[in-house]
Amino acid sequence: MNNIEDILVTRLVETYFISYTYSVVYLFTHQTTISLYLVKHILSGITRCIQFLSAFTGVFFLGGCNLDTRMSTFVTKGPVAETQYDLFMLTVWVTLGIFIAVGGAFAFAIIKFRERPNDDRPMPSQGHGNPLVEIGLIGASILLLVIIAVPTLQGIWYTHDTPEDPESFMGAWYSGEELAEEEAENPLIVKVIGYQWWWAFEYPQLGITTANEMVIPAGKVVHLELRSFDVIHSFWLPRIAGKVDLIPGRTNSMWIQAGDNFLRWKEKQGVAGPKEESPALRADYAAYLEEEIHNYYYGQCAEYCGDSHARMHFRATVVDNEEFAEWVIDERTGHGTPDGKTWDDWYADYADNPDSLTGDLNEGLKLFMGRAKCATCHVVKGNPRALGVAGPNLTNVGSRMSIAAGWLNHRIEEDGSIDLKKQYDNFYKWIKETDVVKPGNRMWKAGGGGIGELIDENGEPALLTEDEIHKLSLYLQSLK
Ligand code: HEC
Ligand SMILES: [Cu+2]
């Protein structure tokens, strides 16, 4: 979809550059051959060479443009991004029209009225404006602005007002048990909270919180509430929707949807009327939706927010209804102890006889709760004492495809699975030198609470050893 327009735009831009190059080449060769202009004016010849080469490089650079990238706004998914794309295209066409009209008049004037050798044409009459032309141009500009403004305003409202789509109501597709009855007629709500430099995603209806990777059901309306913990951030998931700012002290909202709902899909198929509903059609729609599932979208903070702004990414994974329900249960249940003890027993041993807790995972967990201070900033659901909220929620962090707000990736792009070796390396690298991975981040230094400022009993700096980092990394990998 949208392919023809995509191709057209690329071709237009290319054509523009190619014709520009052409005209430069033309002027250049024309003048040299006919009047040995270049010999006479060798310096201006060199300037022309430079102009020519730079135009030529421009063409090469454009050849590298690929519109189908993972953060492309040209290859869109879902109604919000599509609406924004259509608006963009409308603006492109209008401005292209202006460009051709103005550029055409300009080119015409330059060519027609240029000075020629032995030119004895009289000076054209010098006027100071023509009321008809001026009023006409003002009128045309207003008209063009209105043509752009109306759909722009419509688009703003469209993105803001979460549609009432009965098929997206939680009651219609969500099969988990945690849902309160009064939520049955609401869409899924996700609270997005921006922190320097990561994202929290809360699902208030389901009582879960995750970080940096949101999970959403395919083809369903999802209502977003956007807030900020500190400074202004901006939510931008290019192929699905964007951008709305997260502003301190205020809640903004928008909605997103990955893939079309049944109605919109039918419209696109050209099947008219809300009545058209046959099992075969439903099956086709289900097959379409199946393709949307397991799509993985890349997002980014789009408002400069400090040191590691450029490393404040996030992701959205699209799943089907059943997987979504399973994911919710996983997130709610959280994690047990490494060897299946109850947490009470584990903490009793931890206090009285920590040496009895052996093995890499137990060692890792002991560090996590103790010397390394991880639990003071991180929640791990299930663990009754890992309750810190200064950092991302680490429940199931071992199932996520990336860490450090999407900056360290361990997803295998071909099949969407996790590269375990890389995951281990990423955890290791992150714990060892978070300050290098993300300069300025709040985990390394947090006014004496960060892991870059660990101290021993004597108050001496005591950073984590390689062996400790190894065990912590293994422990984090086990959180899945
Ligand atoms: C002072 C609070 C603090 C402490 C202590 C702390 N962290 Fe963090 N942690 C953070 C913050 C803040 C982030 C987000 C950093 C960013 O992406 O900008 C984070 C991010 C992470 C992440 C990446 C999560 C994700 O989804 O991207 C992991 C994993 C992690 N911490 C593990 C640990 C471990 C292991 C320890 C103990 C060695 C630890 N943290 C100690 C605050 C803390
Ligand atoms: Cu930001």
Q: What is the 3-state secondary structure (H, E, C) of 13-75?
A: HHHHHHHHHHHHHHHHHHHHHHHCHHHHCHHHHHHHHHHHHHHHHHHHHHHCCCCCCCCCCCC
Give mean pLDDT, residues 307-329.
Answer: 94
Ligand 1 proximity of 441 Cβ (cutoff 6 Å): yes
- 309 and 346: one domain? no
Domain of residue 250 covers 168-328
pLDDT range class, residue 15, cuts 50, 70, 90: low
Percent of the chain predicted with pLDDT > 90: 65
- 153 and 242: one domain? no
Query: According to the model, what pLDDT value does residue 18 have?
Result: 57
Tokens 């993300």 — which residue? 438
Count of domains for the chain: 3
- 217 and 239: one domain? yes
How many Cβ atoms from other residues are within 10 Å of residue 235's Cβ? Answer: 24
Specify whether the CB–CB gap between 368 and 386 falls below 8 A. yes
The whole-chain average pLDDT of the chain stands at: 87
| Ligand 1, pocket-test mutation among 311, 377, 442, most atoms within 8 A of CB | 377
Ligand 1 proximity of 372 Cβ (cutoff 6 Å): yes
Label the pairing between strands 313-319 and 213-217: parallel
- 377 and 232: one domain? no
- 58 and 145: one domain? yes
Which of 110-119, 186-195, 433-442 bottoms out in mean pLDDT, i.e. has the lowest? 110-119
pLDDT at 29 over 70: no
pLDDT at 246 over 80: yes
- 234 and 205: one domain? yes
Domain edge (last residue) among 328, 358, 387: 328
pLDDT at 251 over 70: yes
- 145 and 172: one domain? no
Name the more confident of 42 and 132: 132
Q: Any idea which ligand is nearest the CA of 304?
A: 2
Q: Does residue 261 form part of some domain?
A: yes
- 303 and 414: one domain? no
Which of 288-302, 339-353, 360-374 bottoms out in mean pLDDT, i.e. has the lowest? 288-302
Domain edge (last residue) among 302, 328, 354: 328
- 207 and 288: one domain? yes
Ligand 1 proximity of 471 Cβ (cutoff 6 Å): no
pLDDT single digits (tens) 169-209: 999 999 888 788 889 999 999 999 999 999 999 999 999 99
Q: In CATH, what number is assigned to the domain containing residue 274?
A: 2.60.40.420
Q: Any idea which ligand is nearest the CA of 226?
A: 2
Q: Does residue 203 form part of some domain?
A: yes
Q: Does residue 120 form part of some domain?
A: no
Q: Does residue 123 form part of some domain?
A: no
- 232 and 286: one domain? yes
pLDDT single digits (tens) 384-436: 999 999 999 999 999 999 999 999 999 998 888 999 999 999 999 999 999 99
- 314 and 202: one domain? yes
- 349 and 463: one domain? yes
Query: According to the model, what pLDDT value does residue 375 have?
Result: 95
Q: In CATH, what number is assigned to the domain containing residue 371?
A: 1.10.760.10
Give mean pLDDT, residues 316-325.
Answer: 93
Q: Does residue 342 form part of some domain?
A: yes
Domain edge (last residue) among 301, 328, 355: 328
Q: Does residue 461 form part of some domain?
A: yes
